[in-house]
Amino acid sequence: MVMRTRHGPATLSICRPPMSVNAQLGEFVKRLKSTYDDDSTDRWHHVTTIFMLIGLATTLFLKNYVGDPLQCWRPAQWSGQWEKFAEAYCFVENTYFVPMNETNLPPVHTREDKEMIYYQWVPFILLLMGLMFYVPRGIWKIFSVYSGLTLPVMMQEARKAGKAGNDAKMPGTLAGALYREHQASREGGKVTMYGGYLSNLYFFCKTLMLINVVGQLVFLNHWLGTKYTFWGFGILWDMINGRHWQESGHFPRVTYCDVTVRELGNVNNWTLQCVLMVNMFNEKIFIFLWFYFCFLAAVTLINWIAWAGRCFFNKPEDFIGELVSTSDRRYSDPEVRDFFQKVLKKDGVLLIHMIDENGGRLFSSEVVKALWSLWRQSGARKPVQDQTPPKKLTAIDEGDDETFKPIH
């Protein structure tokens, strides 16, 4: 609400009621949804994987802290309250595994080395892993705004128009916005005047994604405390060869717990045998996650190599010339080179790649065609001296003797 005083307008702020938990959760989930200023591999990281990890964490959290994660055998003289106390104590203070073929329990001073310290923390670790998958996306969202482009809006509109295929004005509208931003960056001295800010930032985030997923695999190997270099293959090989948890100790279902009880002035030590039911879920979840991360790491590496070529090694003029040729065959290689160097630059090519990814090849070629037309109509283009050997040229249309296409 705005009020006017003799000193000018004054703003009256009205406090909004705090958002409910459901509303806050809905807002968080909404932020996780992609705005399509990325490619499908990126969305696999910061949308699909995060939702999957949140779902698994929620399931295990309910099992651990709402249900009964473990049940323990108790001495006959213990009442029901003692049983609940012992089970809660054992869940919090860790349990240890002893193979069934060992007749005696290990010495007391060595039992701590055999404790399993992971099962209470699995839901929180899964949430932390999900957060790490969002870090590259968060960096991209924070720093991409300094380019001056409203990338989420542009890419969402490109995706809608590309899917619908019935909005003939959208390519021209999008091209006009990009061209105006190009003109403003030249005059205003924005970050985009260097032409490589967005592409370098995007490739940096791609590198972070690759480092993250490989780091997650290394973390799983270390945190689960096994001796296998390739944990998932080792566990799967044990299962195939009939070496189950009773022998290997991987995610054991039956464990032991030492409980100290003070009764009538006496301190008694009890060793309880417990059924750790949650480990049945943990085993399946982590085997799936390990192989899933391996597959995701391979896909991410291939995607990283492809984008490294686009950003640093491939000739962007070839990609732009391919798009221009689908809509206007009257062009020359020097003209395309001039168009790239003076209008698109590296960041413009990145945006065209994103439009191509989200809107399709036909839509991206229409956007490039519109940009091409705006550039030619503006009179900004100048003849470029081509250093390559001359090619035989032929006119495409009568009356247009300026633009030619090489005969291949």
Tens of pLDDT, residue by residue over 364-385, are 888 888 888 887 777 655 544 4
Q: What is the DSSP letter of 145?
A: G
Strand 393-395 relative to strand 2-5, pairing: unpaired
Are 226 and 164 a contacting pair, CB within 8 Å?
A: no
Query: For residue range 196-215, what is the model confidence (pLDDT) as tens digits?
Result: 888 999 999 999 999 999 99
255 found inside a domain:
yes
134 found inside a domain:
yes
Q: Which two tokens stand for residue 295?
A: 């597959």
- For residue 386, pLDDT beyond 80: no
363 found inside a domain:
no
Q: Which two tokens stand for residue 114?
A: 């055999």
CA distances from 39 to 25, 34, 301 (A): 26, 10, 14
- List 103's β-bridge partners, or say none: none
Confidence category of residue 225, pLDDT binned at 50, 70, 90: low
124 found inside a domain:
yes
Confidence category of residue 216, pLDDT binned at 50, 70, 90: very high
Q: Which domain holds residue 256?
A: 39-141+211-305
Give the CA angle between residues 192, 193, 195 to the nearest 5°.
65
217 found inside a domain:
yes
So what's the pLDDT on residue 321? 80
Query: For residue range 123-143, what is the model confidence (pLDDT) as tens digits?
Result: 999 999 999 999 999 999 999
d(CA 339, CA 368): 10
What is the domain count for the chain? 1
Q: Rg for the chain (alpha carbons), in Å? A: 31
- List 95's β-bridge partners, or say none: 116
d(CA 2, CA 9): 7
Query: For residue range 14-24, what is the model confidence (pLDDT) as tens digits?
Result: 445 555 655 66
Residue 270 neighbours by CB under 8 Å, 6+ apart: 75, 86, 258, 259, 260, 261
Q: How far apart are the first and last CA of the chain?
A: 67
Q: What burial class does residue 45 get, using C-beta atoms within 10 Å of its C-beta: 0-12 exposed, 13-18 middle, 19+ buried?
A: buried
The residue among 140, 125, 304, 141 whose CA lies nearest residue 214 is 304
270 found inside a domain:
yes
240 found inside a domain:
yes
So what's the pLDDT on residue 27? 64
371 found inside a domain:
no
Answer yes or no: pTM beyond 0.85: no
Mean pLDDT score of the chain = 77
